[in-house]
Amino acid sequence: MKKNNFQFSIFNSQFTEFVRKEFFHIFRDKRTMLILIGMPVVQIILFGFAISTELKNTKVAVFDTSNDISTHRIIEQINASEYFTVEKILNSHHAIDNAFTQGDISLGIIFSENFNERMLHTGDANIQLLADATDPNQATAIIAYASNIITSYRQSLALQNLAQWGRRGDEKIIVPEIRMLYNPAMKGAYNFVPGVMGMILMLICAMMTSIAIVREKEMGTMEVLLASPIKPLHIILAKMTPYFIISCFNLITVLLLSVFVLDVPVSGNFLWLAVISLLFIAVALSLGLLISTLVNTQAAAILASGMGLMMPVMLLSGMMFPIENMPDILQWFSGIIPARWYIAAVKKVMIQAAPVEYIIKEMVILAGMAIVIITISLNKFKTRL
């Protein structure tokens, strides 16, 4: 009996020592700790707040040609709703078109002249609801919510007449005139094609480039390459060039399939679509290079690329979920994700046929990101290898 107790005590002490040493190795590696402790927190925040099909804070522009008590009250009710935020009161149809093209709004409201008088007497008061239908599901929800608010106002007006005059008055239902801009057929492909383009280019450029460079480091051949007469910058460019060419090929393939299979036309200038795509490819390549300077194994490169790039692209770029539905802090964070600006620019050029002046902001941001990330990556690459 004593022998068994002695053996159990030895086993218990050895087991405890192994557990202690394993904890020590885990706590010593800060990157492992970041993944084990930080990643679940990041995931629950992203999935809890970013993944939302609810309609919130939809930006609205109003063109009120009547400017009477009824239009003011309808605008106030729409703005008071948690679903909408009235951003602009405009003075022309052209201004609303510009606001849509710039991506400033998702809903436009146009009131007919003498709206209140027509609603009360002739019954031909008219409201136009214009929605950006590049995302058909969101556009349908926006129109439904706005229509319900307008109907609710008319019903409250009838109840007010009942309380004041003892009669409801003539029930003249206001039926909004609905226009779905850019995608009148409400095809889902109009929404996911720009997002898929961003995802494919990011996957090929960032993930594959980081793995290709880290593979050389992991196999011990990078030192041999750096000891050769070839300059380090030329080595990096040589590693990146194949993925740049493959990404260009994939871009052409996606566009051809979009046009001839999915019936999503390139409505704008193809040259500017190519320019913005090349800028995004440069950013993705530089991100791949940056990842390769931070990790030393291919598994780590895949993890960093997959968790660090793919998830934010899918959740926070506007590819799947509207950015305006997210909390303010996630909206701010989405601003540093290159795919957000690329997808927005592609929608403007490819779907909305916007001229180049409407994508200058996205081009400047992507160019700035490319310069900053490439500079940091090259400096870190030289010092680490």
Tracing tokens 């909305």 back to the chain, one arrives at: 352
Paired tokens of 48: 């809890």
**Mean pLDDT over residues 301-321, rounded?**
76
Q: How far is CA 18 from the centre of its chain?
A: 46
Number of structural domains the chain divides into = 2
- 167 and 308 belong to one structural domain: no
Residue 301 dihedral angles phi and psi, to the nearest 5°: -65, -40
**Mean pLDDT over residues 249-258, rounded?**
86
Residue 383: pLDDT band (50, 70, 90) is very low
Residue 118: pLDDT band (50, 70, 90) is confident
Q: Which domain holds residue 143?
A: 58-181
Assessment of whether the complete model's pTM goes beyond 0.75: yes
* Run of H or E including 139: helix 136-165
Question: Burial, 343: exposed, middle or buried (Cβ in 10 Å; 0-12, 13-18, 19+)?
Answer: buried
CB 111 within 8 A of CB 89: no
- 234 and 326 belong to one structural domain: yes
**Mean pLDDT over residues 70-74, rounded?**
88
- How far apart CA 134 and CA 348 sit, in angstroms, is 10
- 94 and 217 belong to one structural domain: no
- 139 and 277 belong to one structural domain: no
Q: Which residues fall within 8 angstroms of residue 297, CB to CB, at 6 or more apart?
A: 214, 218
**Mean pLDDT over residues 242-258, rounded?**
85
Q: Is 20 domain-assigned?
A: no
Count each helix (H run) and each strand (E run) in the chain, helices first.
Answer: 17, 5
CB 247 within 8 A of CB 342: no
- 209 and 355 belong to one structural domain: yes
Rg (CA), the chain: 28
Q: Is 27 domain-assigned?
A: no
Which residues is 255 bridged to in the sheet? Answer: none
Q: How high is the mean pLDDT of the chain?
A: 79
pLDDT tens-place string over residues 270-287: 999 999 999 999 898 888
Q: Which residues fall within 8 angstroms of residue 23, CB to CB, at 6 or more apart?
A: none
Tell whether the model's pLDDT for residue 162 goes beyond 50. Answer: yes
Q: How big, in percent rounded to 5, are the helix, strand and coil portions of the chain?
A: 70, 10, 20
CB 352 within 8 A of CB 180: no
Q: Is 39 domain-assigned?
A: no
- How far apart CA 242 and CA 19 sit, in angstroms, is 46
pLDDT tens-place string over residues 8-19: 455 456 667 666
Q: Is 11 domain-assigned?
A: no
Q: Of 181, 211, 236, which residue sits at a domain end? A: 181
- How far apart CA 39 and CA 46 sit, in angstroms, is 10
Q: Which amino acid is at 200?
A: I
Tell whether the model's pLDDT for residue 125 goes beyond 60. Answer: yes
Q: Which residues fall within 8 angstroms of residue 18, CB to CB, at 6 or more apart?
A: none
* Residue 341, pLDDT score: 93
- 171 and 202 belong to one structural domain: no
Which CATH number belongs to the domain containing residue 109 in this structure?
3.40.1710.10
